[in-house]
Homo-oligomer: A and B are copies of this chain.
C-alpha cells in the first residue's frame, strides 16, 4: 500500500527563530506593519507500508529520527493512503 504523509515541523515555543526574525525585519523594511513571523517546514513524504497503522508509526519514527530535532522542534502529521 502506498501512502502520503504531510509532516509539519515547527520550533517549540520560546525557541528563537532567526529566519522568522529576518523575514519580519525584511517585511517591515517594505513598510508592512508586521509584528512577528514564525517559519515552519512541511515535508510531503510518499512511501510504502503494509497498513495505515504501520504507516503512521513509521512517520512518527521518521520524525523522531530525522525530520524533527526533539530538543527544539514540535511536529505533527497526517497520513493518507493513495492510489
Contact = CB atoms under 8 A, between A and B. Distances in A.
B46 A35 contact: yes
B32 A43 contact: no
Contacts of A10: 42
Interface string A1-22: 0100000101000000000100
Identical chains in the assembly = 2
Interface residues of A, number: 32
A51 interface: no
B40 A44 contact: yes
A45 B32 CA distance: 11
Interface of A: 2, 8, 10, 20, 23-24, 26-27, 30, 32-49, 58, 62, 65-67
